[in-house]
Amino acid sequence: MPLSNVPFRMDRSPVLRYGLAVVPVLGALGIGLLAQHYNYRKAQFTPFIFAVAITGWYGGSGPAALSVALSIPTFAFFFGSPIYSVYAFVSELPSFIAFACSASMAAWFSAVRRRVEADLREARDRLQAEVEERTRQASLLNLTHDSIFVRDANDIISYWNRGAQEFYGWTTEEAIGERSHELLHTVLPAPVEEINRELLATGRWEGELRQTKADGREVVVSSRWSLTRDAGGRRLATLVTNNDITERKRREDQIRGLNEELAKRSAELEATNKELEAFAYSVSHDLRAPLRHMSGYAELLQKKAYSVLDDKSQRYLAMILESAKRMGNLIDDLLAFSRIGRADTQKTLINLDQLLREVQNEMRQETEGRIVDWKIGALPVCYGDRSMLKLVLANLLSNALKFTRNRPRAEIEIGCARENKEEVAVFVRDNGAGFDMKYVHKLFGVFQRLHQSEAFEGTGIGLATVQRIIHRHGGSVRAEGAVDEGATFYFSVPNVDPR
Amino acid sequence: MNTLGRILMVEDDPKDVELTMTALEEYNLANEVIVTHDGEEALDYLYCRGKFHDRSTDNPSVMLLDLKLPKVDGLEILKIVKSDDKLKLIPVVVLTSSREEKDMVTSYKLGVNAYVVKPVDFHEFVDAIKELGVFWAVINAPPPGSVRR
């Protein structure tokens, strides 16, 4: 019978309990009188002992004492000689003492029983409360998305929350009783002895585990273990909390892979750059030397044998010299072009107005004897590498001057096309030979020329240099033009403070 | 003209040597030119070693130094010369094909006295050599201990 079904006597009111003490005594008196009526006088006090025991059983020690107190005068009055008097003969005394002892014994037994029952009840209540608390906690653990389970000292799963159920795919019934490492195919990041040593020493362990779900998919979890011990400090159970980090791990791997790839690429790029540098150096030194010799000896020959050479031969020599010179210029331009790609840009605040005036001054020689109508608008201030931007302006201006050479009056306009928070744009417009927009895509390419050498000399590197410099600044270049109607070149650089 | 200083030329390319000599001859500067064809020979000369062991111990009044040289390259020679107490007084002119900024910067850091890029055009080349010869061998007062003719 479950203890919870037995009514607890303290629940009853004292009136009821003490009233209960009277009824058994009256009952015992009735039985005693009935026995006397049939002349059975051997055990007249036995019903009273029962009455006390019943009272003690159901009413507690107080009512039991009361029933003892009531029983003694009642017994003395009805059954002790002289009969119908509360006084008793001395000869009856042993009977009274025996009765009092028996009644007290009954009351004491009752009290002991009651104490035992109270203890049991208390233990039951505690147990019940604990069960409730545990159930509540367990249902709380079910609320979390983390997989939480408990495994005992033998690695047998004894608790399995809903998170674990959802994540791994085994129900609580399936999981409990299994060996956790076997069920989950756990791959530990370190030798198990090492992990156990740490767990036993600190009571905790944290790490990443590879496991396999019920559907066979492999997952990576971040696992935290906490140890519970018994009073002797022995390992009792381990609470395991696992977080799924498979996706994070995958991304990390991906990022690591990409980084490695990037490092490899930049190493390759660096090597290529080094090679290019060595190549440029070699071009600079080794290619120019034979060229110098060619032109040197041709010149010496010209000097020595000029008088004996006919016109044709003299022209041949002149052509050799001219070609050597042209090749020299090509090499120099190409080297300058490649240097732009390799040199570090040092960005400062640049007054383009001032820079333009400097460039114009340096070109005075080229404009000598020509009518050049300069229209120069206000130019913005921008951030950039001074010497590089100067090269841009010099190239554009020199182009404008070159291609307007055949005009009686050269008109060259320089101004600001745009100036806002993002960028500043500058244009250089001329009324020169222009170009066919059909070939605009070739304009900024290396060695690309849209005019024949006889008409306009040049190496075809100037605009490529311009584009390269502007691109290194993070800006853009473009050109507009029409044959014989002049050309306009635009360049823009970001309007940002590099600091 | 004043007295002419001795010029030490360090140049491995015989054609360059010939052209340079031609240019110097044109201005009568070629009489006192010592030509060494690699870095080691140049150092032998400077330290009076090997085939130069019995030369007079005076320093040349100028050294024309190519950078790309067999055995010991120009920058190494420059480093040795400029860190030697006795030799560092010799004016050194780097005469090279290299327009590389790196070479230029390194040379100046090592204490070169002049850096001249050999022009491709022969006229310019002759002019450059002439001016160099005239300046360093004639106009410039060389440090004490240099050969004067």
Give the model confidence (pLDDT) of A420-454 as tens digits.
Answer: 878 889 999 988 888 888 888 888 877 777 776 66
Q: How confident is the model at residue A284 (pLDDT cuts 50, 70, 90)?
A: low
Question: Is A343's pLDDT higher than 80?
Answer: no
Tell me which of A486 and B101 has the higher pLDDT: A486
Residue A155 Rama label (left phi>0; alpha psi -120 to 50; beta) = left
What is the arithmetic mean of pLDDT over A180-185? 90
Of residues B22, B68, B118, nearest to A292 (C-beta): B118
Contact, A380 vs A346, CB < 8 A?
Answer: no
Shortest Cα–Cα distance, B39 to chain A (Å): 17
Q: How confident is the model at residue A290 (pLDDT cuts 50, 70, 90)?
A: confident
The label of the residue with tokens 């040199």 reads A343
What is the arithmetic mean of pLDDT over A239-264? 92
Shortest Cα–Cα distance, A450 to chain B (Å): 27
Q: How confident is the model at residue A3 (pLDDT cuts 50, 70, 90)?
A: very low
pLDDT of residue A2: 44
String of DSSP letters for A343-397 = SPP-EEEEEHHHHHHHHHHHTHHHHTTS-EEEEE-PPPEEEEEHHHHHHHHHHHH
What is the arithmetic mean of pLDDT over A299-319? 88
* Range in A53-67, A235-249, A271-285 the model is least confident about: A271-285
Summarised one tens digit per residue, pLDDT across range A372-402 is: 888 888 888 888 888 888 889 998 988 888 8
Distance CA A298, CA A307 (A): 15
Cβ A292–B96 below 8 Å, yes or no? Answer: no
Q: What is the DSSP letter of A356?
A: H
Cβ B122–A289 below 8 Å, yes or no? Answer: no
pLDDT of residue A10: 52
Of residues A281, A295, A331, nearest to B100 (C-beta): A281
Compute, in degrees rounded to 10, the torsion defined by CA atoms A24, A26, A32, A37: -140
Of residues B100, B101, B121, nearest to A328 (C-beta): B121
Q: How confident is the model at residue A1 (pLDDT cuts 50, 70, 90)?
A: very low
Distance CA B106, CA B67 (A): 11
What is the arithmetic mean of pLDDT over A175-182? 90
Distance CA B51, CA B123 (A): 35
Chain A residues in contact with chain B using a Cβ-Cβ cutoff of 8 Å: 280-281, 284-286, 288-289, 291-293, 295-300, 321, 324-325, 327-328, 331-332, 335, 339, 343
Please give the ipTM for the structure prediction: 0.76
pLDDT of residue B3: 55
What is the arithmetic mean of pLDDT over A98-111? 80
Beta bridge partner(s), residue A477: A491
Shortest Cα–Cα distance, A205 to chain B (Å): 57
Domains of chain B and any CATH numbers = 7-139 (3.40.50.2300)
pLDDT of residue B1: 39
Distance CA A215, CA B133 (A): 89
Question: Is A321's pLDDT higher than 80?
Answer: yes
Cβ B121–A300 below 8 Å, yes or no? Answer: no
Average pLDDT along chain A: 84
Beta bridge partner(s), residue A226: A204, A239
Cβ B22–A285 below 8 Å, yes or no? Answer: no
pLDDT of residue A8: 46
Shortest Cα–Cα distance, A334 to chain B (Å): 12
Name the pTM for this structure.
Answer: 0.51
Task: Provide the CA A24 distance to its chain's centre, in angstroms.
Answer: 79
Question: Is B143's pLDDT higher than 80?
Answer: no
Summarised one tens digit per residue, pLDDT across range B68-78 is: 888 888 899 99
Question: Is A104's pLDDT higher than 50?
Answer: yes
pLDDT of residue A4: 44
- Degrees, nearest 5: CA angle A330-A336-A339: 140
Q: Report which residue type is found at A371.
A: I
What is the arithmetic mean of pLDDT over B10-27? 86
What is the arithmetic mean of pLDDT over A291-310? 87
Q: How confident is the model at residue A499 (pLDDT cuts 50, 70, 90)?
A: low
Question: Is A105's pLDDT higher than 80?
Answer: yes
Question: Is A84's pLDDT higher than 80?
Answer: no
Cβ B122–A280 below 8 Å, yes or no? Answer: no
Distance CA A229, CA A280 (A): 74
What is the arithmetic mean of pLDDT over A157-186? 90
Distance CA A415, CA A377 (A): 5
pLDDT of residue A263: 94
pLDDT of residue A232: 80
